[in-house]
A and B are shown apart, each in its own frame.
Chain A
Amino acid sequence: PPLTTRTRRVKKYSPEAYKFYMEQHIENVIKGYKARSSRRWQLEKEMTKFSLPDDTKSEMRKMLFKKESNYIRLKRAKIDLDMFQMIK
């Protein structure tokens, strides 16, 4: 089907918006990577401190991995109006 001007999905963006977005984004990628590694490392440190048994340790790791995974899924999800139920 021919694309008309009306159906064009490419939107214009200002170069300033793009540059600002990229600078923030790259900083967040690096920060996110460091923060995630540090949470993982912190957990190991704490578990060793309290000399938890191995199977408890592995449970705790699984819980952290699950949380991290859910977090990046939520980051991907877009929020729009029909996700809310109108109450009043």
Chain B
Amino acid sequence: MRHAAATLGSGNLQLAVVLPEGEDLNEWIAVNTVDFFNQINMLYGTISEFCTPTKCEVMSAGPKYEYHWADGVQIKKPLKCSAPRYIDYLMTWVQSQLDNEEVFPSAVGVPFSKNFMSIAKTILKRLFRVYAHIYHQHFSDVMGLGEEAHLNTSFKHFIYFVQEFNLIDRRELAPLQELIDKLISRDKEKYK
């Protein structure tokens, strides 16, 4: 992958993802998850016209990885569908989780549910797939819109965050592992 060139000129994002002293872990995971969802939602919204059922017949991340949709509730048997449909299911599902007060309580003082962390992990695992699809199938579209620095920075922040708290299995990250190594090693040079 040759894409990991430009990022936004900013400070060290790796320090910014660390759990602040005295902060509740769930609260920290929640606020960041919402932010990443908004970023990915907007990003995909800028390239959605290029991601059509004919151009992206399946939800893929390069030739080696293909995803089938199942949410375990409405769709139990993994459904092979086009990328735009898959991403539609995915974003709708994530939105419904974020809107669920039992999972993401918004009133001060209401505690998180016991299964919050496992839901957050599933959300982040699925959001990663949208990044993976965009990098593999739509990077030239992203370049055409001049968004590559923004995407790289968004993705790098996401990766620092999920790595800091071990939120996504290494196996799941495989479609973009090369890019991840590249983005991180460049930062190591910059902030050593």
Contacts and interface: CB of A to CB of B under 8 A. Distances in A.
Interface in A37-88: 37, 40, 61-62, 64-65, 68-70, 72-78
Contacts of A13: 42, 45-46
A36 B8 contact: no
Interface string B154-180: 100100000000000000000000000
Interface residues on A, range: 35 or more
A72 to B, nearest CB: 5
B91 A9 contact: yes
B13 A30 contact: yes
Interface in B1-47: 8, 10-11, 13, 15-16, 20-24, 27-28, 30-31, 34-35, 39, 41-46
| Main SS at interface, chain B | helix
Contacts of B45: 10-13, 18
Contacts of A26: 8, 10, 13, 153, 157
B106 A29 contact: no
B108 A25 contact: no
Given A26-B157, A29-B157, A30-B11, A18 B16 contact: no
Contacts, number: 110
B91 A29 contact: no
Given A33-B15, A33-B16, A10 B91 contact: yes
Contacts of A34: 11
B146 interface: yes
B33 to A, nearest CB: 9
B85 interface: yes
Contacts of B140: none
Interface of A: 1, 3, 8-15, 17-19, 21-23, 25-27, 29-30, 32-34, 36-37, 40, 61-62, 64-65, 68-70, 72-78
Shortest Cβ-Cβ A-B pairs, 10 listed: A65-B22, A13-B45, A77-B106, A33-B16, A15-B145, A30-B11, A22-B150, A72-B31, A18-B42, A9-B92
